[in-house]
Structure 1
Amino acid sequence: MTGMFKTRLDAPVLCSREGLVGDKQADRRYHGGPDKAVHLYPADHYARLVAAFPALAGQVGPGTLGENLSVAGVDETQVCLGDVFALGDCRLQITQSRRPCWKIDHRLGVSGASRRVADEGITGWYFRVLDEGVIAPGDDMMLVERPNPDISLARLWAVETAHRPAVDEVRALSRAAGLSAGWAKKLAQRADWLERQADGMNGGSND
């Protein structure tokens, strides 16, 4: 089962702390929950997918990759971890990048799409819902808070996917305001591992 197949809505919908009313996630271990309540995918990325996979021409658009929202004119280089946006009656906070999985290939019917999304960092992102309310097609999404102006989602994804990122940067990201609990734990564990590896290469502690 999968929650990848979305139907475009042309009417207002209630957005709760668990996401849009009526939306479903098949595997709650990896999808959904308060820290991943709403998934946004930048509309400008659809053209990049078609350029990489011409067979997708006319087949990709809002909802194709399982996203709940799609907005033009903004991408991962322009938004930051922890950003808070007003949308309709809601306030939404960016919590993490979306990690693409095999379901993208399955949904699009092409091999390699998920890898392309990951390699190019055109992943989209998740929101938690700070204030519930109604949103509607055409609502403006307005930035109202930016607690981490130096942590764009492009930077977060680059560190997350780097083979040997700087331990100090990983540690700092794990403590950043707004980060999802799952990624905070994972990044903290990775920072611990990197420190142990560095200690081993340096011959351990001198205590």
Structure 2
Amino acid sequence: MSLPSISLDTLLTGRAVPFTRPGSRSAIAKTPRQESLSITTLGLASDEQGDLRVHGGVEKAIHHYPREHYAQWSAELGEHPLLSRPGAFGENFSTTGWTEADVCLGDRIRAGTALLEVSQGRMPCWKLNDRFEVAQMALRAQESGRTGWYYRVLEEGSVAAGATLELVERRHADWPLQRLSAVLFDKRVDADTLRQCLELPLAPKWRRTLERRLESGAVEDWNPRLQGSPKA
């Protein structure tokens, strides 16, 4: 499987602000940046996350979401103001040309002067429900596989909109993110497949999740992530 080079169409960052539910904060509302931004192991300069327990960190330093998914969402949801421009899903990188079917776990990507590694797919949470004002938006993203993915930073550097994103190394060609996410979001427990996944360089949270699944023979409850706490 090959991966053609593509252009970083839009680079986005956001500041954490109070969100929709009592005590919640989010930086999901991101805006385009035209200047070159530094990339550290924690992500893009000036980008923030509202809840560092579940967002951000070295395994989720940069979020990439395919722009071509927007047309599919528009077909399903109808006209929605968030879908008129990049940034609806809180992404840092917006591009056309790569999707979860093309990108593999562990792919190493040159982005500007930084070297990134695909660390995991996104696990959608309730903040998508509130942002889109669609009750099951997180679940729909999960079931569709249109989740986007995260990078860890192997070499710090800088990047700007218009930069080329180039695959420089592929170590797990049999594991596109689409396949891996299908395992993660499958309610059936296939012990042999779980063992295969656990041989991969999984992000720690994904590894713990699949290890628990293999040990217990049961899939965890997704409702806290997908629904969150009720609004006051």
The normalised TM-score by structure 1 is 0.89
Pairing partner for 1:133 from 157, 167, 174 = 157
- How far residue 158 of structure 1 moved from its aligned partner, in angstroms, is 0.6
2:206 is the counterpart of 1:183 = yes
**Structure 1 residues 54-133: aligned runs within 5 Å:** 54-56=78-80, 59-133=83-157
Instruction: Provide the rounded CA distance (Å) in 1 between the counterparts of 2:84 and 2:186.
Output: 29
Alpha-carbon displacement from aligned partner over 1:149-187 (angstroms, at most 9, x marks no partner): 10110111110011113212112212303x211111211
Preserved CA contact (<8 Å) 1:50 1:57: no
- How far residue 192 of structure 1 moved from its aligned partner, in angstroms, is 1.7
Q: Which moved more, 1:117-126 or 1:54-63?
A: 54-63
Q: Which moved more, 1:16-25 or 1:160-169?
A: 160-169
For residue 203 of structure 1, what is the aligned residue in structure 2? none
Q: Which moved more, 1:140-149 or 1:160-169?
A: 160-169
Counterpart amino acid of 1:102?
A: W
- How far residue 77 of structure 1 moved from its aligned partner, in angstroms, is 0.6
Preserved CA contact (<8 Å) 2:82 2:88: no
Which sections of structure 2, spanning at least 5 residues, go unmatched? 1-24, 219-232
Alpha-carbon displacement from aligned partner over 1:85-113 (angstroms, at most 9, x marks no partner): 00100111111110111111211233332
For residue 174 of structure 2, what is the aligned residue in structure 1? 150
Give secondary structure in 1 for the equivalent of 2:31: coil
Instruction: Provide the rounded CA distance (Å) in 2 between the counterparts of 1:187 and 1:144.
Output: 29
2:75 is the counterpart of 1:51 = yes
2:216 is the counterpart of 1:193 = yes
Counterpart amino acid of 2:210?
A: L
Counterpart amino acid of 2:56?
A: G
- How far residue 58 of structure 1 moved from its aligned partner, in angstroms, is 6.6
Number of aligned residue pairs: 194
Give secondary structure in 2 for the equivalent of 1:115: helix
Instruction: Provide the rounded CA distance (Å) in 1 between the counterparts of 2:70 and 2:63.
Output: 15
Give secondary structure in 1 for the equivalent of 2:34: coil
Percent identity, please.
Answer: 38
RMSD (Å), alpha carbons: 1.5
The normalised TM-score by structure 2 is 0.80
TM-aligned CA distance change 1:175 to 1:185, over 3 Å: farther
Instruction: Provide the rounded CA distance (Å) in 1 between the counterparts of 2:154 and 2:71.
Output: 31
By percentage of residues, which structure has more helix? 1
Larger Rg: 1
Instruction: Provide the rounded CA distance (Å) in 1 between the counterparts of 2:83 and 2:185.
Output: 29
Preserved CA contact (<8 Å) 1:90 1:132: yes
Alpha-carbon displacement from aligned partner over 1:46-95 (angstroms, at most 9, x marks no partner): 11111111131574432211111111011001111111100100111111
Preserved CA contact (<8 Å) 2:108 2:117: yes
